[in-house]
Amino acid sequence: MKTLQDSLPSEFLEEYRDTPAYKLKDAVVLKEFGSFSEHQVRWPGPQKNVFFWVLIEGGKGIGWNENPATGWSFPVIKVKPEWIAAITEDLKLPFKKRLLGASPDGRTNSWELTCPVCSKPWKPQTTMLSMVRETCPKCSYCAVVDYNS
């Protein structure tokens, strides 16, 4: 999978080692936005000169701020859950699932799901269905979960 350091210019690794963004250089990029990508979504942060940014795992956004007065910077923001829900509709990333064992009534299994966008773990309602559309309770990311795979 593509990481943050793969998405940003080579100067990022050489000249910006003391920034909060650099500490996230190995984070998995969920989606790229801006002039170099097929997705054109406005930067949700306060900076005015971000023309390219990425959404990384954990629900953070990293921007490439090209400020003509101060030079480059790489701001890190926590992306609001409603933004994540709106911009990740087509990601098709699977929830990570973990079998917890039989449900209390013994008729189904209990599971723990972890959201690929915001990393929130939760226990979904048990079901007899093998495929269910689940929604993250924290960031509202939706995906179909195949409980038989």
- In tens digits, what is the pLDDT along the chain, a chain of 149 residues? 899 999 999 898 889 999 999 999 999 998 888 865 555 677 888 998 998 999 998 889 999 999 899 999 999 999 887 777 767 666 677 889 999 999 888 888 999 999 888 889 999 987 888 888 888 888 777 788 888 88
Supply the pLDDT for residue 71: 92
**Amino acid 66: pLDDT:** 92
pTM, two decimals, is 0.67
Query: Dihedrals φ, ψ of 143, to 5°?
Result: -160, 155
Q: What's the CA gap between 131 and 147, in Å, rounded? A: 6
Instruction: Note the pLDDT of residue 90.
Output: 64
- Tell me the residue length of the chain: 149
Distance CA 141, CA 34 (A): 21
Please state the domain extents for the chain: 4-79, 96-146
